[in-house]
């Protein structure tokens, strides 16, 4: 399952993500968050996301906004990459699975989910 839509205010994006995480229960550390120019492509092409996996992406107004959202989620307990990237206005989150590949965990180490 993957959900997305057009640009929204930061508060609405955060509310969407938190609500999504609650609907698809799991400990915060089982979620991976990141930013990208194209959230959908990042999920499928980089992280190995598959149809039926649980994830969501939203478009922020700026790359700074997307990075701020990712940083907030990492500080709240998710895994992920909260660094600002040029043109990365999409913030995405997915529940990690055996076949997904987080690019970098919040501890800065490259890893594969177990």
pLDDT at res. 25: 85
Pair of tokens at residue 83: 């660094």
- Tell me the C-alpha distance between 84 and 13, whole Å: 17
Name which of 102, 1, 90 is nearest 48 in CA terms.
102
pLDDT at res. 37: 94
In the numeric block, the tokens 């906004």 are attached to 65
pLDDT at res. 6: 61
As a 3-state breakdown, the chain gives helix, strand, coil percent values, each rounded to 5, of 35, 20, 50
pTM of this structure? 0.82
- Tell me the C-alpha distance between 72 and 79, whole Å: 11
pLDDT at res. 108: 41
Decide if pLDDT at 83 tops 80: no
- Tell me the C-alpha distance between 67 and 60, whole Å: 9
Chain segment 5-32, per-residue pLDDT in tens: 566 788 899 999 999 999 998 898 999 9
- Tell me the C-alpha distance between 109 and 25, whole Å: 25
Average the pLDDT over 44-52 and give the result.
Answer: 92
Chain segment 60-75, per-residue pLDDT in tens: 999 999 999 999 999 9
Please report, rounded to a whole number, the percentage of residues in the chain having pLDDT higher than 70: 84
């Amino acid at each position: 399952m993957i959900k997305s839509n057009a640009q929204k205010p930061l508060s609405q994006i955060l509310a969407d993500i938190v609500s999504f995480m609650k609907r698809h229960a799991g400990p915060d550390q089982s979620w991976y968050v990141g930013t990208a120019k194209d959230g959908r492509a990042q999920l499928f092409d980089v992280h190995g996301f598959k149809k039926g996996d649980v994830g969501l992406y939203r478009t922020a107004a700026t790359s700074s906004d997307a990075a701020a959202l990712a940083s907030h989620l990492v500080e709240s307990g998710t895994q992920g990459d909260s660094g600002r990237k040029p043109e990365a206005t999409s913030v995405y989150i997915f529940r990690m699975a055996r076949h997904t590949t987080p690019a970098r965990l919040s501890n800065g180490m490259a890893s594969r989910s177990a």
